[in-house]
A and B are shown apart, each in its own frame.
Chain A
Amino acid sequence: MVEHTVAATNAIVTLDVPIPQVIWGWMITLNMWAKSIGTGVIFVGAYLLARYSKEVGKDVKFWMPVISFVFLNIFLLFTLLDLHQPFRMWHIFAHPHWTSAITVGAWLATLFTGVVFLMLIIALKEPLLKHKRKLPKFLVAILESKWLNDELYNKLLKAAVVLAIPVTMYTATIMGEATARELWQTPTELIQMLLAALLTGSAVFLIIGYKWSYEVKRDLAIILGASAFLSFVIYMGEYYFGHMKAEEVEAILAYVKDSGPYHVMFWAGQWIAFIIPMVLVYLSLKSRSSSLLLLASVSAIVGLYITKHVWLIIPQLLPLS
């Protein structure tokens, strides 16, 4: 039996009940990933409008709310589906508990989605009114109202950028409030969430703006490369030095170290999300190749899901009692 025990104590659990392991699974990964895209396109879109409005303004003003709204709804849908009592979601609004980052996040995300929805209506105004006859009269009346204009769009964009900051970062506070999971520390996770938004936001615009000038894409490539680099550095810091922090962190990181069950998945995520995009961005900046940036963008978006998933799962594998 000694071969099964912890060396220092020679102790092994011999009788116990089955205990929960993964409580928050792929739906929460999808939630975080979709939210990164939903908020990231707002950050990066706002930057593009500020710097390259004449060149890409029209495209950005259309695609930014469309993509943000779609991914925010994916995020909200899977947040709802992950609840064991989804029909009680309204309790968050009727009985809010403000010390909970879940509550604060739900309120802010709802407000943010509302703002993005109004931006979407303005963005869709022109294309929808081309098919005026097929639309219901009330919708035509709304779309033709004077207040749905570019001025309102710009005001809403400012509000959206401000709201996108807490919306993208609040999940880090939830992770921080998960006292049981020592791996997640709020300050680190806050930065990781912000970087994830910038990574996916720039990647999405590199895909949409494939035909844009290289000058615009160079800026996006730098945002993508820098976000990937910083995020990778933080993960490596955790990976190589995290064990010095606490016994629990050491035990959790063992799941992604050499013989750990998530070793391959962890490194697959790091390579696909960060290393490959960084290399491709570097090569693209040297050769002015747009195709490389397209590949880097797809790689970053796919890899981020894997990276987030591993980081979400591993602290849950550790027995708490």
Chain B
Amino acid sequence: MLNKSRAYIKGVYMKLGFLVDLDLCMGCKGCEVACKVENQVPLKSWRLRVKYVDVGVYPETKRTYTPLRCNHCEDAPCERICPVSALHYLENGIVNIDKERCIGCAGCMMACPYGAIYMDPVTNTADKCTYCAHRIASEMMPACVVACPVEANIFGDLDDPASHISQYIMRHQKDGGVQVRKPEKNTKPKHFYVGGGEVHLNPLASKREEGYNLFNKITHLDHIGGH
């Protein structure tokens, strides 16, 4: 449960954020599965995924795990480009989506620098991680946070200096250990990483080879949504 009063949670003073400690993440994909189940995400769609990247040359090799989800940017390109305000900010800072209003233009998918938005093949509308806004409204933590066995997912109010996430950021910020993805895009993400390197956060730092096969076949979607 969020350590906040009900009024405060539903109030305007929150700025909810996420942090993943990549030093703790062991790539179990528990968060990925929990998200899929909680939000009934259709086949071939993901709100949250854990990407494995292998680094180095044998015998000096290392496997890295990076959970990737919507960054809930303060200056969200998806919200800006959405022609009908289907993507909108909630008072607690979450970038939410109204699927009933979405016209499926896919402008948000073109705008999001993090590839965090997908076209739902069932509803033919855009969708994405909402930090489990429906659970937060009931004072529960997002499903991925609950599922993580090593508490690598840390969620809370960035505006509250006493919150776990704020304390965590303060503790790791001194040595530049808190990062966001693609800061040069100036989207002001509210999703942070600790213990991440180039390989974790920059998709161009690793090769994504079409057809490469170790655990699964690395590939792309031929069609988006049910269009």
**Which residues of A pack against B, CB within 8 Å?**
1-2, 4-6, 8-21, 23-24, 82-86, 88-89, 91-92, 95-97, 99-103, 106, 174, 177-181, 246-248, 251, 316, 318-321
Contacts and interface: CB of A to CB of B under 8 A. Distances in A.
Contacts of A9: 55, 198-199, 205-206
B212 interface: yes
A16 B54 contact: no
A102 B83 contact: yes
Given A84-B104, A85-B103, A12 B207 contact: yes
B42 interface: no
Given A11-B54, A91-B103, A23 B204 contact: no
Given A11-B53, A12-B207, A83 B103 contact: yes
Nearest to B81: A177
Interface residues of B, number: 65
Given A96-B84, A97-B85, A321 B51 contact: yes
A318 B110 CA distance: 12
Contacts of A23: 106, 109-110, 224
A181 B110 contact: yes
A180 B220 contact: no
Contacts of A13: 51-53, 206-209, 212, 218
A95 B55 contact: no
Nearest to B45: A17
15 contacts: A6-B207, A12-B208, A12-B212, A15-B51, A15-B215, A20-B221, A20-B224, A21-B220, A84-B227, A95-B101, A174-B81, A177-B107, A178-B81, A321-B115, A321-B116
Closest 5 CB pairs of A and B: A84-B104, A320-B115, A11-B206, A15-B52, A179-B77
Contacts of B145: none
A2 B57 contact: yes
B107 A100 contact: yes
B46 to A, nearest CB: 5
Given A4-B207, A85-B124, A102 B107 contact: yes
Contacts of B107: 100, 102, 174, 177-178
A14 B53 CA distance: 6
B30 interface: no
A126 to B, nearest CB: 40
B105 interface: yes
The residue in B77, B111, B116 that gathers the most chain A C-beta atoms within 10 A of its C-beta is B111
Interface in B44-98: 44, 46, 49, 51-58, 63, 68, 77, 80-85
Given A17-B49, A95-B85, A100-B80, A179 B113 contact: yes
B203 interface: yes
Contacts of A100: 80-83, 107
A83 B106 CA distance: 8
B111 A178 contact: yes
A251 B63 CA distance: 24
B114 interface: yes
A180 B221 contact: no
The residue in A82, A84, A320 that gathers the most chain B C-beta atoms within 10 A of its C-beta is A84
B140 interface: no
Contacts of B147: none
A321 B23 CA distance: 19
Contacts of B216: 15-16
Contacts of B131: none
Given A13-B207, A82-B105, A321-B203, A177 B57 contact: no
Nearest to B113: A180
A83 B105 contact: yes
B221 A19 contact: yes
Contacts of A319: 115, 203, 208
A19 B67 CA distance: 14
A84 B84 contact: no
Given A21-B220, A84-B125, A319-B115, A248 B204 contact: yes
B83 A16 contact: no
A76 to B, nearest CB: 14
B110 A14 contact: no
Given A13-B208, A180-B77, A18 B221 contact: yes
A265 B27 CA distance: 41
B192 interface: no
Contacts of A177: 77, 80-81, 107, 111
A99 B111 CA distance: 13
Contacts of B22: none
A86 B106 CA distance: 12
